[in-house]
Structure 1
Amino acid sequence: MSAAPHLVVADVRLAAGAAAAPELLDERALAFLAGLHQRFEPRRQALLAARRERQAFFDAGGLPDFRAETRAIREDDWRVAPLPAALRDRRVEITGPVDPKMVINALNSGASCYMADFEDSTAPTWDALLTGQRALREAIAGTLAFDADNGKAYRMKPEGERAVLIVRPRGWHLDEKHLLVDGERISASLFDAGLFCLGNAAALAAKDRGPYLYLPKLQSMEEAALWDEVLAHIEQVLDLPEGCIKVTVLVETLPAVFEMDEILHALRGRVAGLNCGRWDYIFSYIKTFRTHRDRVLPERGQVTMTQPFLKAYSELLVRTCHRRGAHAMGGMAAQIPISGDPEANEAALARVRADKEREAAAGHDGTWVAHPALVPIAKAIFDAAMPGANQHGVAREDVVADRDALIAPSRGTITRTGFEGNVEVCVRYLAAWLDGSGCVPIHWLMEDAATAEIARSQLWQWLHVTDRGGEPLCLDDGTVIDDCLFQQTLLNLPSRLAAQGPIPGAGRVAEATAMLEALTRSDVLEEFLTISAYERLS
């Protein structure tokens, strides 16, 4: 195996208070990660600066569009590299955090693949990150086991019966504060992906299992190209076959939908598909158009995949992927089973079925679920609609999704229930996140950072955006959406939460409420709530 990177590291160390983990972060691992930082951090920072410049253009009234200088990439005939056998059939993928119990349950769930998530469903405490890396190493080695406090034992099925593992590192916008290189925080993306590949790539490559990654929050082809260079470098340093690290890209930002061809092209030697990361995509739509009164979305419950801008996005993704020989993966079903209420449970499952039937009919090659109980439901729908391994033969040449269709305003209203629900979801999720939980069941939906971001950014926009005459937005009953309504909702929240019984992170509710109040009252919409909240994590 090749030595660690050739760059000379002046100083690489754990931050004060970060527990040592010599079995994960030995001298070789620290040198490897430091080499990634020194080689790629300047490019990452330049790309993040480009994001800020692009957002300033949108804030000034500009609109996203397809890039004129990359027209040839969109119009030329080319295809991505052939897919490995393990990724040809991905009809149902389950997602979730990386704690040992979840890793075992997800691998045993009967899903085609398991996306082990270091991003939106993991609160990145140092302990959680290290526990997740250990759990994945043990799972790949076949030794992972978990014994719960109630005496229940969790064990993995034989390797041939497990889901294919795909790991999602954190996005380019996030830092890892616990590891410093030359006094700077390392990129969270490089830390998560680098440490996972260092510890597992050889074992996975020997099994023809990658390693495989999901890449989140990309906004441009240049960001995709940086990932390609990082992964090619990792392959070279670790003596891996060229192109063995395969990736699927989440199209979960509005700028990225205008560069899907370009992103596939930048990663064409290793990309396996694109995924409709719809919750983050809705959040990105809100954030991109945060100053645009004419593109304010209705309350979250009304922003379904039948809204014109979401329908155009998902169908264009199918057409783009299939033209290039890549998978077009559908989005998340966030519902979880409702115990004790058969009628409500059946209504929730009916919504899941309708959503998955829509995806299968549109030509998607697979879909996401958040709970093992939804795996057989989604699988039955895709089995019926997709007898082969995928639907690459569904070209969707009927789809015409131009710029205006992709940014079309949405129909709908803002109700008092919707406004109050956004406040509750934000506070409850933030409280649980600060307490160390990255995904939280709230009203029988599995909420993660993406869904909380929708609620948080909507509250900010509803309170800060006015029409051309300076008039504020109103609820559907005529109530003005202003600070008085927001404050009254916050004051009523404790009694509302008390009526629901114990909730995750109950001890952090006051802190979460104060954070939401500050974020919502700020003159500028914070890019990501997890950036400021991260400073409060251990």
Structure 2
Amino acid sequence: MSNPKKIIIRDQLAEIYPDVYTRESLAALDFMTPFNKEIKALMGKRLERRYRRAQAGERIGFLKDDDFIGGTSIRVSDARAGNFEGGVVPADLQRQWIQGTGPGAKPGAAVESSIRNVAYALLSGADGWMFDGEDALGQTGSMSLDNQRNLKLAIHLDPLFLKVAEQVAAQMNTWSQAFFGEPKIKDWRSQLAFTTKIFRARGLHLDDRHIREVDGSSFAASIADLTLYVTNNHRKLRESGASIVLYLPKIQTAEEAALWNRMITALEGYLELDEGTVKVYVLVEQLEATYQLMEIRAALGKHFVGYNTGRWDYINSVSDAMAWDPDFVNPNIESVGMTYGYMRNYEDRVRRAVNTPDRNGNFALWQGGMEPNIPVGSEEGVASSMEKAVSGAQREQREGASGKWVAHWKMVHIVRPVWEQVGEPNQMGRSFPPLTYTQVDADGLILLEPAPRTIRGARNLISVAVQYGNAFGQGMQAAALKPSDFFGNEDVLYLMEDMATGEIRLSILWEWVHKQAKLTEDDPETDLKAGTVFSLELFYQLLAEEYAKLLDAGDKDVHNASKTTTLPIAREIAEVYVASPQKIPWFIDLLNINLNNLDLPLAKQRIRFYLDTLRSKHERVTENLDFQV
């Protein structure tokens, strides 16, 4: 194995994962390392922009027509007019009616058990599967490397993976026979080739836990994920006729998209691939990105194939961007669906952006949002939830989406028929009004509409947020959760929740506390009346009550071992996040600095260090505090 000259890998992981840190991938990481400083500089600009807007009470706006997109020679007006060379959608992405999402690894599991996640995904019948390296992938231990290893084993059809896939296929057919009345997998070997493999790299805002530069600088997780996945798998994917496809998360500006484009182009050149070989979807999950959709398309050029409208992250970004505005207060999270005020306008801009042709007449894909339901519960509960899931998919199909996401393999054959019955592979090129850039458009992207704000809603926010933090600490960044008051009620289904769903719950609670939000309804349980201000004291009271319920819960819902380890830390993080006068940029920051830590006093010390750094230097702490050079 070659020794990289520009990076250091911690704790002999290069020797433990020689199939991930191969000679070729280590050399590629060295080659890509100069981008690390560019990413850090751009993330500094992002945080400074956020701070300046909060201080000045400044709303996000559209770019000026005659400006150039940062990091490019493309004029904003040209991007908006489609005067750029965009990506061509390859054959295996032309039909993506259903994409599943989830990680390709399990926390603390041996390879043969861990790789079952990949087998379920590739046997699910989904048109594509986004194997997550970000919001749904646990980061305890070396899970990010387990994820890379498992994907490589599956893509290369390793005998161990084939053995596991055969076993998993039989188990999936047992379930589908009982649920649908027929086995869905006819030939498991051929089924493995049906699903397009897609990888979501971590965003520019996160650091890798295992790599540093030789000078001790933390190392961007986006470089690690991009480089390892593409370098280790590009040959096998192309030999099998499959595309190399990525999802890019948390992009806020076209300048950030341009940096991604330069990184991908540089890696393609290093690996002697034609520019545009790697295809990317962009998750539109940041408010600022919605003001720059055509600019982001143009900045990604030949690589770009589509947008996805993910609900939870986007709601959080709107809440965060408007944290300075005392009049912007969200209602209960259950009220903020895709047809609600600012969400409706966001979705409309995305579908108009993908159906604006580039200079060669190429359109792009719109992949709809996430269906978090899992068909496990009472017969009545499952029937009701599945009806809602199908209805939501039908709405998105009518609006112009070429497909949507599901969070569990059991949902694929429930939702996919919505597009299957229509029969068209996609809706690219469907006619919508062209995008406009007026004040009315800008206002629509932060449009609030009347909706309930209740104690019941607050309890749901608190309970799921704390449970999510607890799951994260145990290595499960995607977890089936529901509010504690519904534990044991099989009519209320568990939902697959990831990082974004925990974060938006705390963001809304922060809004309610710091903007003195008023309840809209009487609450018979607490005797609080409509018009009562949601104070910090009320939050503390409800947090204590909801935490007590979690301590009393059975092991099925709250693992007993977590009640003296990760659960108290999750409560501390939730309390600090909501109480902090300065809104913390990312919930994941507080969780990340406490990964693999089970000691509450140490957690409190690290949280104080984070807050002190944010207040004094306007900087985030994103490095692995347990890995020092």
Q: TM-score surpassing 0.5? A: yes
| 1:391 alignment counterpart | 427
| 1:445 alignment counterpart | 495
**Does the 8 A contact of 1:114 with 1:166 survive in 2?**
yes
Match of 2:460 among 405, 412, 421: 421
How far residue 151 of structure 1 moved from its aligned partner, in angstroms, is 10
Distance in 1, Cα, partners of 2:156 & 2:580: 48
Distance in 1, Cα, partners of 2:241 & 2:474: 38
**Does the 8 A contact of 2:78 with 2:84 survive in 1?**
no
Letter of the 2:197 counterpart: L
Distance in 2, Cα, partners of 1:519 & 1:146: 45
Asked if residue 455 in structure 1 is aligned to residue 455 in structure 2, the reply is: no
Judging changes above 3 Å, is the alpha-carbon distance between structure 1 residues 509 and 142 closer, same or farther for their aligned structure 2 residues? same
SS at match of 1:171: coil
Asked if residue 532 in structure 1 is aligned to residue 590 in structure 2, the reply is: yes
How far residue 159 of structure 1 moved from its aligned partner, in angstroms, is 5.8
**Does the 8 A contact of 2:356 with 2:434 survive in 1?**
no
SS at match of 1:212: strand
Number of aligned residue pairs: give it: 524
Distance in 1, Cα, partners of 2:409 & 2:22: 36
Letter of the 2:380 counterpart: E
Provide the aligned C-alpha RMSD in A: 2.4
Judging changes above 3 Å, is the alpha-carbon distance between structure 1 residues 245 and 147 closer, same or farther for their aligned structure 2 residues? closer
How far residue 25 of structure 1 moved from its aligned partner, in angstroms, is 1.7
How far residue 16 of structure 1 moved from its aligned partner, in angstroms, is 4.8
Asked if residue 492 in structure 1 is aligned to residue 487 in structure 2, the reply is: no
| 2:521 alignment counterpart | 476
Asked if residue 64 in structure 1 is aligned to residue 60 in structure 2, the reply is: yes
Distance in 2, Cα, partners of 1:227 & 1:187: 12
**Does the 8 A contact of 2:287 with 2:318 survive in 1?**
yes
**Does the 8 A contact of 2:10 with 2:210 survive in 1?**
yes
Q: Which moved more, 1:496-505 or 1:261-270?
A: 496-505
How far residue 173 of structure 1 moved from its aligned partner, in angstroms, is 0.1
SS at match of 2:416: helix
Asked if residue 316 in structure 1 is aligned to residue 369 in structure 2, the reply is: no
SS at match of 2:208: strand
Distance in 2, Cα, partners of 1:126 & 1:85: 38
1:397-436, aligned counterparts within 5 Å?
Answer: 397=433, 402-436=441-475
How far residue 66 of structure 1 moved from its aligned partner, in angstroms, is 1.5
SS at match of 1:166: strand
Distance in 1, Cα, partners of 2:23 & 2:153: 21
**Does the 8 A contact of 2:5 with 2:30 survive in 1?**
no
Judging changes above 3 Å, is the alpha-carbon distance between structure 1 residues 58 and 322 closer, same or farther for their aligned structure 2 residues? same
How far residue 65 of structure 1 moved from its aligned partner, in angstroms, is 1.8
Distance in 2, Cα, partners of 1:34 & 1:521: 42
Letter of the 2:308 counterpart: N
1:495-506, aligned counterparts within 5 Å?
Answer: 495-498=548-551, 500-502=553-555, 503-506=557-560
| 1:46 alignment counterpart | 41
**Does the 8 A contact of 1:307 with 1:411 survive in 2?**
no
1:194-238 CA distance string (max 9 Å, x none): 111111111112223221100000001111111111111111111
Distance in 2, Cα, partners of 1:323 & 1:151: 42
Distance in 2, Cα, partners of 1:138 & 1:504: 33
Letter of the 1:22 counterpart: P
Asked if residue 170 in structure 1 is aligned to residue 202 in structure 2, the reply is: yes
**Does the 8 A contact of 1:79 with 1:323 survive in 2?**
no
Asked if residue 303 in structure 1 is aligned to residue 336 in structure 2, the reply is: yes
Match of 2:386 among 335, 349, 373: 349
Match of 1:34 among 14, 30, 35: 30
Letter of the 2:89 counterpart: L
**Does the 8 A contact of 1:465 with 1:473 survive in 2?**
no
Match of 1:361 among 394, 398, 404: 398
How far residue 275 of structure 1 moved from its aligned partner, in angstroms, is 0.7
1:129-188 CA distance string (max 9 Å, x none): 11111110011011225769x999879633664310000011000001311112112111
Distance in 2, Cα, partners of 1:389 & 1:378: 15
1:265-344, aligned counterparts within 5 Å?
Answer: 265-324=298-357, 325-339=363-377, 341-344=378-381
Distance in 2, Cα, partners of 1:121 & 1:43: 26
Distance in 1, Cα, partners of 2:340 & 2:435: 16
How far residue 505 of structure 1 moved from its aligned partner, in angstroms, is 4.9
Letter of the 1:520 counterpart: V
| 1:107 alignment counterpart | 122
Letter of the 1:484 counterpart: E
| 1:469 alignment counterpart | none
Letter of the 1:452 counterpart: G
Distance in 1, Cα, partners of 2:558 & 2:226: 29
Asked if residue 240 in structure 1 is aligned to residue 278 in structure 2, the reply is: no
**Does the 8 A contact of 2:119 with 2:168 survive in 1?**
no
**Does the 8 A contact of 1:36 with 1:190 survive in 2?**
yes
Distance in 1, Cα, partners of 2:168 & 2:90: 40
Distance in 2, Cα, partners of 1:302 & 1:285: 15
**Does the 8 A contact of 1:329 with 1:364 survive in 2?**
yes
SS at match of 1:142: coil
Judging changes above 3 Å, is the alpha-carbon distance between structure 1 residues 399 and 435 closer, same or farther for their aligned structure 2 residues? same
User: What is the TM-score of this pair, normalised by structure 1?
Assistant: 0.92
Q: Which moved more, 1:405-414 or 1:260-269?
A: 405-414
Distance in 2, Cα, partners of 1:493 & 1:407: 31
**Does the 8 A contact of 1:178 with 1:185 survive in 2?**
no
Judging changes above 3 Å, is the alpha-carbon distance between structure 1 residues 312 and 290 closer, same or farther for their aligned structure 2 residues? same
| 2:525 alignment counterpart | none
Where do 5+ consecutive residues of structure 2 fail to align?
68-75, 106-114, 173-187, 358-362, 483-493, 523-529, 597-629
Judging changes above 3 Å, is the alpha-carbon distance between structure 1 residues 146 and 54 closer, same or farther for their aligned structure 2 residues? farther
**Does the 8 A contact of 1:329 with 1:367 survive in 2?**
yes
Distance in 1, Cα, partners of 2:375 & 2:496: 10
How far residue 390 of structure 1 moved from its aligned partner, in angstroms, is 0.6
Q: Which moved more, 1:76-85 or 1:96-105?
A: 76-85
How far residue 377 of structure 1 moved from its aligned partner, in angstroms, is 2.3
Asked if residue 97 in structure 1 is aligned to residue 92 in structure 2, the reply is: no
Distance in 2, Cα, partners of 1:378 & 1:58: 41
**Does the 8 A contact of 1:126 with 1:178 survive in 2?**
no
1:363-384 CA distance string (max 9 Å, x none): 1111111122221222111123
**Does the 8 A contact of 2:122 with 2:191 survive in 1?**
no
Percent identity over paired residues: 30
1:2-38 CA distance string (max 9 Å, x none): x99xxx965522235857422322454333213312x
Judging changes above 3 Å, is the alpha-carbon distance between structure 1 residues 250 and 33 closer, same or farther for their aligned structure 2 residues? same
Letter of the 1:511 counterpart: I
Judging changes above 3 Å, is the alpha-carbon distance between structure 1 residues 30 and 335 closer, same or farther for their aligned structure 2 residues? same
Match of 1:121 among 105, 111, 136: 136
1:16-31, aligned counterparts within 5 Å?
Answer: 16=11, 20-31=16-27
**Does the 8 A contact of 1:426 with 1:516 survive in 2?**
yes
Judging changes above 3 Å, is the alpha-carbon distance between structure 1 residues 425 and 533 closer, same or farther for their aligned structure 2 residues? same
| 1:188 alignment counterpart | 221
Asked if residue 82 in structure 1 is aligned to residue 88 in structure 2, the reply is: yes
Letter of the 1:463 counterpart: V
1:87-122 CA distance string (max 9 Å, x none): 111111000111122211111111100000011101
Judging changes above 3 Å, is the alpha-carbon distance between structure 1 residues 191 and 153 closer, same or farther for their aligned structure 2 residues? farther
Distance in 1, Cα, partners of 2:207 & 2:372: 27
| 2:155 alignment counterpart | 140
Judging changes above 3 Å, is the alpha-carbon distance between structure 1 residues 316 and 344 closer, same or farther for their aligned structure 2 residues? same
